[in-house]
């Protein structure tokens, strides 16, 4: 009589990728602490699951943080999807030229910052619009506005594919500005304090780009999880198989079209660990039934 074994669900055998927002998600919004997530980060590293930061921060801001979090072997997504960093294991011999001395290839998925600044100047003149970009602020102004230290503010100003700005005009002006930028193929995205002007890219398109890269290298579609707390995380949360909306401190609605959605009760890194517990702990028990 043939043996009848029950196959574990397909999901138990697929490689996994975890994408995460930083501020208000993996990092505490106020204290930048991540201790509650530490145990999961160690465990995911041991399991070989890349934890990929997906942030509005610049490459220069992300690199030291990534080192501190122990995520050196994983790719990263900076400036809301405009910039992707690939460690050597994620590089493609034919596609990635110009690998840096650190073995990392950096790809721009949006448009060059020079073009964005040029178009901003054009629309300011045409619409007589009143706004101040981050690159126009003095270091002191930026520090006062954001509470960043001087070294942090310097790193935040090293933009490659997006320009944050403070809008100082009315709503009607903002809509005209948005329409003008759209005609140039540029997007206006709401952040916390700033509006961000980027090319035709966002966190979701960059996550899709990395998933496709993984498939091209490994010949397998990974099982993907993403965690985020803000409106600018919605496209990322919709691009993956499973998602966690982390309880935010901002009061803004975050409602992705995502059937596999968990909303954490805790905020920041506590909520992050709670979300990973929810989705991945159950898959882990499918991989290691003896451990149940
Ligand atoms: Mg956030």
Give the full edge-to-edge strand order of the sheet including 131-133. Answer: 131-133, 162-167, 195-198, 187-190
Of these residues, 21, 23, 28, 241, which one is catalytic? 21
Indicate if 45 and 187 belong to the same structural domain.
no
Cα–Cα distance for residue pair 290/280, rounded to 1 Å:
16
Which protein residues have their CB within 5 A of the ion that is ligand 1?
21, 23-24, 229-230
Q: What is the pLDDT of residue 6?
A: 37
Of the residues 166, 198, 230, the one at which a domain ends: 198
Cα-to-chain-centroid distance, residue 162? 14
CA 228 to ligand 1 centroid distance, Å? 6
Q: How far is the CA of 54 from the centre of ligand 1 (A)?
A: 10
**Position 96 in a domain:** yes
pLDDT tens by residue, 69-95: 999 999 999 999 999 999 989 988 777
Q: Is residue 7 part of a domain?
A: no
In a domain, 4, yes or no: no
Question: What does the alpha-carbon distance between residue 10 and residue 28 come to, in Å, rounded to a whole number?
Answer: 34
Mean pLDDT of all residues belonging to the chain: 89
Residue where a domain terminates, one of 150, 169, 198: 198
Are 230 and 192 in the same domain? Answer: no
**Cα 62 to averaged position of ligand 1 atoms, centre (Å):** 14
Number of domains comprising the chain: 2
% the chain with pLDDT above 90? 73
Residue 101 scores a pLDDT above 80: no
Residues 29 and 130 in one domain: no
In this structure, are strands 242-247 and 261-267 parallel, antiparallel, or unpaired? Answer: parallel
pLDDT digits (tens, 9 = 90+) for 201-225: 999 999 999 999 999 999 999 999 9
- The rounded Å distance from CA 142 to ligand 1 centre is 20
Task: Tell me the C-alpha distance between 55 and 25, whole Å.
Answer: 10
Say what the pTM is.
0.88
CB 181 within 8 A of CB 119: yes
Q: Length of the chain in residues, anyone?
A: 292
User: How many A from CA of 253 to the centre of ligand 1?
Assistant: 13
Q: Are residues 104 and 220 in the same domain?
A: yes
Residue 93 lies in a domain: yes
DSSP label at residue 118: H
Burial class of 10 by CB neighbour count within 10 A (0 to 12, 13 to 18, 19+):
exposed
Q: The sheet that has 261-267: what strands, in order across it?
A: 51-53, 16-20, 223-228, 242-247, 261-267
Domain extent for 146: 113-198
For the domain that residue 172 is a member of, what is the CATH number?
3.30.980.20
Residue 5 — very low, low, confident or very high, per pLDDT cuts 50/70/90?
very low
pLDDT of res. 31: 75
Compute how many other C-beta atoms are within 10 angstroms of the C-beta atom of residue 1.
3
214 with 268, same domain: the answer is yes
CB 250 within 8 A of CB 192: yes
CB under 8 Å to 283, separation ≥6 — which residues? 11, 12, 16, 223
User: Pick from 198, 217, 241: which residue ends a domain?
Assistant: 198
**Annotation says 21 is catalytic:** yes
User: Which two three-digit tokens encode residue 157?
Assistant: 């100003």
């Amino acid at each position: 009589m043939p043996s009848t074994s029950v196959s574990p669900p397909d999901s138990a055998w697929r490689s996994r990728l975890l994408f995460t927002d930083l501020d208000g998600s993996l990092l505490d919004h106020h204290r930048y602490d991540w201790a509650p997530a530490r145990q999961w980060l160690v465990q995911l590293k041991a399991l070989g699951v890349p934890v990929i930061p997906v942030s509005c921060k610049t490459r220069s801001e992300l690199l030291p943080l990534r080192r501190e979090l122990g995520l050196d072997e994983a790719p990263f997504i900076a400036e809301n999807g405009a910039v992707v960093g690939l460690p050597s294991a994620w590089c493609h011999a034919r596609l990635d030229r110009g690998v840096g001395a650190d073995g990392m290839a950096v790809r721009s998925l949006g448009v060059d910052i020079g073009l964005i600044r040029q178009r901003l100047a054009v629309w300011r003149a045409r619409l007589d619009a009143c706004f101040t970009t981050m690159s126009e602020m003095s270091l002191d102004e930026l520090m006062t506005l954001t509470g960043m230290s001087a070294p942090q503010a310097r790193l935040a100003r090293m933009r490659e594919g997006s320009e944050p700005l403070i809008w100082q005009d009315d709503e009607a002006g903002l809509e005209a500005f948005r329409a003008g930028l759209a005609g140039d193929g540029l997007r206006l995205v709401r952040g916390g304090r700033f509006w961000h002007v980027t090319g035709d890219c966002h966190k979701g398109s960059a996550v899709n780009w990395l998933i496709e890269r993984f498939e091209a290298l490994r010949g397998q579609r990974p099982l993907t999880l993403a965690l985020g707390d803000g409106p600018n995380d919605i496209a990322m949360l919709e691009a993956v198989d499973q998602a966690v909306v982390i309880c935010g401190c901002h009061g803004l609605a975050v409602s992705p079209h995502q059937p596999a959605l968990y909303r954490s009760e805790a905020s920041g890194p506590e909520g992050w660990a709670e979300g990973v517990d929810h989705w991945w702990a159950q898959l882990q028990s499918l991989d290691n039934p003896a451990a149940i």
